[in-house]
Amino acid sequence: MGPGVVAHLVRLGVLSSTSGHASVVSINLFVALLCACIVLGHLLEENRWVNESITALIIGLCTGVVILLTTKGKSSHILVFSEDLFFIYLLPPIIFNAGFQVKKKRFFRNFMTITLFGAVGTMISFFTISIGAIAIFSRMNIGTLEVGDFLAIGAIFSATDSVCTLQVLNQDETPLLYSLVFGEGVVNDATSVVLFNALQHFDLNKIDVAVVLKFLGNFCYLFLSSTFLGVFAGLLSAYIIKKLYIGRHSTDREVALMMLMAYLSYMLAELSDLSGILTVFFCGIVMSHYTWHNVTESSRVTTKHAFATLSFIAETFLFLYVGMDALDIEKWKFASDSPGKSIGISSILLGLVLVGRAAFVFPLSFLSNLTKKADFEKITWRQQIVIWWAGLMRGAVSIALAYNKFTRSGHTQLHGNAIMITSTITVVLFSTMVFGMMTKPLIQFLLPASSHTVTSEPSSPKSLHSPLLASMQGSDLETASHSHIVRPSSLRMLLSKPTHTVHYYWRKFDDALMRPMFGGRGFVPFSPGSPTEQSIHWGR
């Protein structure tokens, strides 16, 4: 018997309020809007100002207005922002796909810089924004905000939106910037988790050396154990698929197993209070390095595109959701009596975000450049501006944290809390739309296409023109074609080119131990120009 009974049940009022007719209606609405976003995004593909996130945000805002008008302001509870939906369902596929498709070699080559930006940079940004907020807001009359609240504001607004970054930066056009800004975003998350938890647990009146040391230890534990969990899950999936040779019976089982084990790693990290984002990111990297090479050819094509599609749907949904939620009438009710003050606070916060990011991007880039010998490895002045700019967007993570901090335990009615919520939404909308719109033109202006290949390392042209397996084969081909640069020699080598040497020994270890056990490219010799490569790109 059929699902028509669902609608029937709804009419009878049997189901609870969270899952009734309203949910069927809102699922219909969201799915239809998602389709509209995809079609519009396709039509606006060549527009230099608008990207997919902004399209989704605007469509979400417009729909919100329509709903608000048709229901006369009563719709606020249908489309309320849910942290669960965000952290449990939308974020994992996005971050996993980012790890799965990232150019591994480039990511690890810049690993030190990424960690520096993500960990130290986020701290600097946090302190800058917190101190700025204390200095400015305490002189304004915006209700009862304590030191803890100001520090929370610092944490909320130092969380960059890695999802939006993925959309404005192009991995193929600006690979160095992509890996730096995106990698920073991932590490930024780990830092933010520790910061946020620390603010809840530590006594803020007694800050001494012991607290700071505990804090640092906590961070290292979180970073290492999250990474380990992700790597372990990836290797386990590679081992199972290689040993049991699951593709023998069913392609679908391979794909399902990869999908489920990646999600399991994320949820296990959540369960253990680790950073699920870091875990699933490294799980994606390991899976693309080992597991992906153990599955059948059709599973490879399927996983590559299915993961990208799921991530794409989740991203679009997210921006649609944020756009719609922004008009939730409840939040604006308490802040509406002082519109001038609300705008003032949002502007101040935006200014602090700009300053807070500048306060670490330029000094840390300078520090990072000091350690590099070769000119092409250094971060140029123009690239620094792009890094600064591309990380200015604040997104759903900021909103989720603001909700968590300022709507808890019935304090929503407080004037200060209400203003903080609406200001967060304003900052998120403004930064995503205005900063986001300006990013593409800014990159085109500062780094015109001709200079890309000069500033970034020369990449194999194949990776740009093979649409199907681009990033996978690209990264491997790259590895192969560049291996002649690295020559094993001596301690002097390690000191002068530490990353390259580490990479060389990693390759040796990988070939000797890891690949025989977990599979990977080493097992299936790849000959360029083989029938596979040509034919797999066939199509219309």
What is the footprint of a copy of itself within residues 27-56 (CB under 8 A)?
27-28, 31-32, 34-35, 38-39, 41-43, 45
Q: Which residue has the tokens 């230099």?
A: 48
Rank residues 208 and 538 by Cβ distance to a copy of itself and give the closer one.
538
CA–CA gap between residue 240 and residue 174 (Å, rounded): 36
Q: Which of residues 248-267 bind a copy of itself (CB under 8 A)?
A: 249-253, 255-257, 259-261, 263-264, 266-267
One residue of 118, 175, 183, 276 binding a copy of itself per CB under 8 A: 276
Q: In whole angstroms, how close is the CB of 376 to a copy of itself at the nearest point?
A: 31
Which of 172, 173, 270, 510 forms a contact with a copy of itself (CB under 8 A)?
270
Q: Give, as ranges, the residues between 76 and 105 that touch a copy of itself (CB under 8 A).
A: 82-84, 87-88, 91
> Out of 140, 220, 301, 454, which residue is the one contacting a copy of itself (CB under 8 A)?
301
- Kindly list the distances between the CA atom of residue 453 and the CA atoms of 90, 177, 456, 457, 460, in Å, as whole numbers in the listed order: 34, 12, 5, 6, 11
Task: Check residue 198 for interaction with a copy of itself (CB under 8 A).
Answer: no
Structure tokens at 461: 């042209």
CB of 240 to a copy of itself, least distance (A): 7
Sign of torsion over alpha carbons 366, 368, 373, 376: negative
Q: How far is the CB of 426 from a copy of itself (least distance, A)?
A: 19
From candidates 70, 409, 490, 527, binder to a copy of itself by CB under 8 A: 409
- Under rule CB under 8 A, which residues in 430-489 are in contact with a copy of itself? 467-468
What are the structure tokens assigned to 483, written together? 């291996």
Among 524, 525, 527, 529, binds a copy of itself (CB under 8 A): 524
- Residue 531 class from Cβ within 10 Å (0-12 exposed, 13-18 middle, 19+ buried)? exposed
What separation in angstroms does the CA of 185 have from each of 55, 84, 385, 520?
23, 21, 16, 28
Tokens 């009974």 label which residue? 5
Q: What are 117's two structure tokens?
A: 């930006």
Residue 246 binds to a copy of itself (criterion: CB under 8 A):
yes
Distances (CA, A) of 10 to 30, 70, 80, 537: 19, 22, 20, 48
- Of residues 15, 135, 220, 224, which one binds a copy of itself by CB under 8 A? 15
Binding residues among 316-375 for a copy of itself as defined by CB under 8 A: 316
271 sits near a copy of itself (criterion: CB under 8 A)? yes
Secondary structure of residue 126 in the 3-state scheme? helix
Q: Which is nearer to a copy of itself, 64 or 118 (CB)?
A: 118
Helix, strand, or coil (residue 431): helix
Residue length of the chain? 540
Q: Given the complex with a copy of itself, which of 260 and 343 has the nearer CB atom?
A: 260
Interface with a copy of itself in residues 202-241 (CB under 8 A): 222, 240
Judged by CB under 8 A, the residue of 130, 192, 365, 368 near a copy of itself is: 192
In 3D space, the residue among 410, 415, 420, 403 whose CA is nearest the CA of residue 143 turns out to be 415
Binder of a copy of itself out of 296, 338, 347, 479 (CB under 8 A) = 296
Distance CA 176, CA 183 (A): 10
